[in-house]
A and B are shown apart, each in its own frame.
Chain A
Amino acid sequence: MRIAPELGGVSIVMIGHFNPSIFSPLWFQKLGLASENEAGKAEIAMIHPEITMFKLGTKDIHIQLGQFMAQTSEAPWINLSDFVVRTFGEFLPHTPIKQVGINRSVHFSVGSENVRNQIGRLLAPTRPWGEWGTAIDQSSANLRGGVTNLTLMLPWIAGEFRGRYEATVQPSTIIAGNSGIFINVNHHCELVEVEPSVSADKIIDFLHKNFDDSIRRSEQIIDQIMSLKEEVG
């Protein structure tokens, strides 16, 4: 990416049926998926039959009955994928999993609010909005009218899987000075046909084989948005 992000991360979110109470730092340590050091320093927020949440090493783990999520803000991202693939590929292969989302998000600075506004106008011109668009152009700097959320989506289908890439651009709420842009790219994958006896293997296999490429593709999309800084500058 041509601009080094100020912040960012990767998350893997899976939809299916999970048993939150079985997951704990100690459980992951026993399976060899976390070190003794990581398990010992884990921050447990909650372990409950309906929701389990804890921080284990560089990973945040959130599990609900219908959803499993692991996220990290520390590269290398592949370690997150290895962690999820081993958890469900080796130790919980009969878990019914129907969908997976690989999310790459970044907050990056474009240097000034003026540049960010110009990028916003490139992405969503105000002219097609007529008088209201003119009002947005003329609104005072303090009020900050303009793009708050823009999402583009590209569906795909390949063999037994289908899904979409969905890229969302927003003003960053973290970078100071109103000069930051936030982008999240969601690479969604689901089974075309969900059999009643669905297990984890197909979705986990997809994740294992596509994670690096998914991150690369997402970063290409993010890089394209970053390139707009050069265009308006």
Chain B
Amino acid sequence: MAIELRKRSDTKLSQDYNLPIEVRAAISHDKANIVKQKIAKFEIGLQKIGVSTRNSSADLDVDQKLLQEFRPVWLSVTDAGVPELSLQPLQEWEGYVSEVRENTFTARLVDMTANQKIEDEIGEFSIEELSEDNVALLREGAVFRWVIGYQRSKAGTKRRVSEIVFRRLPAWTNRDLAEAKSRAISLVNDIVWE
């Protein structure tokens, strides 16, 4: 099966911007002597539906003949413009799990919405409220975000939800360790011994 990616050179434009890009790709392949086409389209823009912006170009990579001849058989997961689910936060905390019991866990909380830096609240949460994926990440010391917000579906339903999502935190990097060492040395040097 031959796979050919149809791409005009001007699609390079998309790489010059660090804005969201919606891409529909084009593949043609020959299977059992039947040529099947998938239509290509690159759209660069801020919104996914028809507004012309500085970075948008309606037809960077559309072969109009192909588009007329074949209906698109492949669509981007974001193609419809409106996501299946959207959760917009009203309030957000970062939590640090301090104790895990049989049915509940306790956490120290930092109010991220208020831009606080220290944990000054304590919350107790039911493990039942966690999704299966998040139960797997629950342990003492684990860090999570607790969001209260509006969840909207593509169908138009809207409801207020409380969502706890555990973070898969980045490990310390060599750069982090070097900076920490540098700060530690600086602190030691600042100590005045009497």
Contacts and interface: CB of A to CB of B under 8 A. Distances in A.
Decide if A and B are genuine partners.
yes
Interface of A: 4-9, 11, 13-15, 32-33, 35, 37-38, 43, 45-46, 48, 50-51, 53-55, 58, 60, 62, 64-67, 69, 71, 73-79, 82-83, 85-86, 89-90, 99-101, 103, 105-106, 148-149, 151, 168, 170-174, 182, 184, 186, 188, 201, 204-205, 208, 212, 216
A148 B83 CA distance: 23
B47 A182 contact: yes
A48 B3 contact: yes
Contacts of A173: 47, 49-51, 81
A183 B98 CA distance: 39
Interface string B39-59: 000000011011111100000
B88 A99 contact: no
A65 B21 CA distance: 13
Contacts of A204: 173
B20 A11 contact: yes
B147 A76 contact: yes
Contacts of B49: 173-174
B87 A75 contact: yes
Contacts of B180: none
Contacts of B165: 76, 79
B133 interface: yes
Given A5-B88, A67-B14, A76-B89, A103 B19 contact: yes
A45 B173 contact: no
Chain B interface category by residue count: 35 or more
Contact of A85 (B18, B25, B47, B170): B170
A89 B15 contact: no
B19 A8 contact: no
Given A4-B90, A8-B86, A82 B168 contact: yes
Interface stretch (B70-78, B101-109, B120-128, B184-192): B70-78
Interface in B138-194: 145, 147, 149-150, 152, 163, 165, 167-171, 173-176
A90 B19 CA distance: 24
Contacts of A101: 17-19
B18 A89 contact: no
Contacts of B92: 75-76
B89 A75 contact: yes
B5 interface: yes
Given A51-B5, A149-B52, A170-B47, A75 B88 contact: yes
Contacts of B145: 75-76, 78-79
B23 A62 contact: yes
A182 B14 CA distance: 21
B167 A79 contact: yes
Given A170-B46, A208-B170, A69 B20 contact: yes
Contact of B23 (A51, A66, A90): A51
A79 B163 CA distance: 13
B15 A66 contact: yes
Given A46-B25, A71-B20, A173-B47, A9 B173 contact: no
A50 B25 CA distance: 10
B9 interface: no
Nearest to A102: B18
B155 to A, nearest CB: 13
B150 A4 contact: yes
A82 B18 contact: no
Contact of B170 (A73, A86, A103): A86
8 contacts: A15-B18, A35-B133, A45-B77, A46-B27, A79-B167, A86-B170, A173-B50, A182-B46
From B21, B25, B77, B170, name the one whose CB has the most chain A CB atoms within 10 angstroms: B170
Contacts of B3: 48
A74 B184 CA distance: 38
